[in-house]
Structure 1
Amino acid sequence: MQVRFDLKEWDRKARALGATSKQIPYALATAMTWTMRETVEAEKKALSTSLDRPTPFTQQGVGFTPANKGQLRFEVFIKDRQAAYLGINVAGGTRSPVGAKVLATPFIKRNSYGNVGRGALKALMGDRRRVFSGKPKGKNRPAGIWRRTNENTTIRLLALYSPSMKYIVRYDFPAIFEATVRSTLPDKVTEAVMHVMARFAMHEGTKGPG
C-alpha cells in the first residue's frame, strides 16, 4: 500500500511560508516522521481492537522506517514474524495451517488471550489409554481428540480438528494507513516548516557575530 503526494506542491508551500532550499528537505522529512508516528499509533490501536485479545507479541507487530532529508519517504508495515499469521486477518480468505487446527471445546481451557495452549492439549492427552488423537475408524467421524468411554465401547469427542479456517477482513491495515496519512500529512507539513525554520533561526542566533 502506497500513498503518494506531489513533493513539488509541498516545496511551493514551504517556500510560501518562508523556508529556504536548505530547510525544505529537513521540514518535509520531519513532517513525514511525525505523520509516520501517528500512523503507527493508529495501526496499533486498530490492531488491539480489531482482533480478539491479541497477545503482547502480536501488538508489537507494527514496524516502521522513518524518512530523512535524503529519502523523503517512510514505511509502516507488519513485521515478518507477525505477518506470518496476521496476513489472513488483513486480506481475509482461507488458511490451511500446517497440521490441524484445534477447535476448543468446554474440555479444553483457553489462556487469557483466548488461545489453546500446548499445556492444555498436553493435559488433555495425558491419559493415553483412554484418550487418542486422530480420525476414528468407521462411521465417518471427524478427526480430533477423542476419549474412550464405557469400558472402551464408545468414544466421546473432546476437541475437533479443522484442516482449514475461513477468515473475514478484521484488521484493515491498508485503509487505516491511507486514511491516517492523507488526513495528517498536509497539516504536519505546515507545522514542520515552522518548526525547522525556528530551529535554523535559533542555530544561527547562537553563532553570534562573525
Structure 2
Amino acid sequence: MPSPINISIHADFDRATRGLSDLARKQVPFATALALTSLAKIVRDDEVDNIARTFASPTPFTLNSVGVTAARKTRPQATVFVKDIAAAYLEPYEFGGLHHLNGRALLNPKGTPLNKYGNLPRNALAKLKSEPDVFVGSVTFKKSGETVSGVWRRPPAGPQVVTGRRGSRGKTNNVVGGARTGLKLLIRFGDALPVREHLDYRERARRIIEQNFNREFSLALNKALATARK
C-alpha cells in the first residue's frame, strides 16, 4: 500500500470531450482536476470504510491514515495514499505475507488489561518495566528446551511455602514452556504470523473509478462551465 495506485483514464477523457464547444474545451483541464480529486476522495472514503469492516477494532490512527493529494490543472493527477507508519503494517493485508512487527511483537498479553482496540494501553510496557520485580528477556526451560521471550514477573523474594509439598521453595504455580515456574509471564513476544484478512485496495479502487468516472466528470465539467460564464 505505500506505493500509489496507477490507473490510466486518458481514453475516458477522450470519449467524454468529443463534440464539446470551444468554451467547454477550454474548461476541460479545470474539470479534469475537479473530477480526479473527487474520484480520489470517493476511493479514500471507501478505503476507510473497508478498513473499518475488515478489522475488528481499527484504531483512529489507522482510519485517519488514508489521505488524498488533489489534482491541479497543471498536474492532472490525484493520489490516494496511506501515511508511512500505517502503510508499513497495512501492506501485508494488500499483498499478503506476515504481520508487520515494529521491533519485538507484543502478542498474547496476560495479566495486563487491553484497551478497546485490543492493544496494550500507551506506556503500559514502560510502566511494567519500571517495576522492580519485572524484567524483559528470554527464558529457556531445561525440561522442554523451549525458549520464551517476553515480560516476566519474578516471584516474591525469600522462601515461599508451596501447599502440598515439603520444604521451602519459590512458587511454582505457573506453567510456561511446558514447565512449572515461579516466574509469571505477563506479555509474550512472538513471531509474525501470516495475515488472514485482505483489503484488495487496488481492485476496489479500479471498480470505484470505473463506476463513477462519467458522473464525476460530467458534474465537474458543468461546474467548470458555470464558473466560466460568470
Same fold, judged at TM 0.5 (above): yes
Counterpart in the other structure of 1:67? 71
Matched-pair contact (CA < 8 Å) for 2:37–2:78: yes
Counterpart in the other structure of 1:187? 215
Matched-pair contact (CA < 8 Å) for 2:36–2:78: yes
Query: Does 1:144 pair with 2:155?
Result: no
| Deviation (angstroms), 1:93 | 0.7
Counterpart in the other structure of 1:160? 188
CA RMSD between the two structures: 2.6
| Deviation (angstroms), 1:114 | 1.0
Query: Does 1:198 pair with 2:226?
Result: yes
Matched-pair contact (CA < 8 Å) for 2:35–2:216: yes
Counterpart in the other structure of 2:58? 54
* TM-score (normalised: structure 1): 0.80
Amino acid at match of 2:17: A
Counterpart in the other structure of 1:32? 36
| Deviation (angstroms), 1:22 | 1.0
Matched-pair contact (CA < 8 Å) for 2:92–2:100: no
Uncovered stretches (5+) of structure 2, i.e. residues with no partner = 156-161, 163-169, 173-180
Figure out how many residues of one structure are paired with residues of the other and give that number.
200
| Deviation (angstroms), 1:148 | 4.6
Matched-pair contact (CA < 8 Å) for 2:88–2:100: no
Matched-pair contact (CA < 8 Å) for 1:52–1:114: no
Counterpart in the other structure of 1:174? 202
* d(CA) in 2 for partners of 1:37, 1:5: 16
| Deviation (angstroms), 1:172 | 2.3
Counterpart in the other structure of 1:206? none
Uncovered stretches (5+) of structure 1, i.e. residues with no partner = 204-210
Matched-pair contact (CA < 8 Å) for 1:91–1:169: no
1:188-208 Cα shifts (integer Å, max 9, x gaps): 11222222222222x1xxxxx
| Deviation (angstroms), 1:104 | 2.8
> What are the within-5 Å matches in structure 2 for residues 63-142 of structure 1?
63-95=67-99, 97-122=101-126, 124-125=128-129, 128-129=132-133, 131-137=134-140, 138=142, 139-141=144-146, 142=148
Matched-pair contact (CA < 8 Å) for 1:65–1:76: yes
* TM-score (normalised: structure 2): 0.74
Identity %: 28
Higher-RCO chain (CA-CA 8 Å, sequence separation at least 6): 1
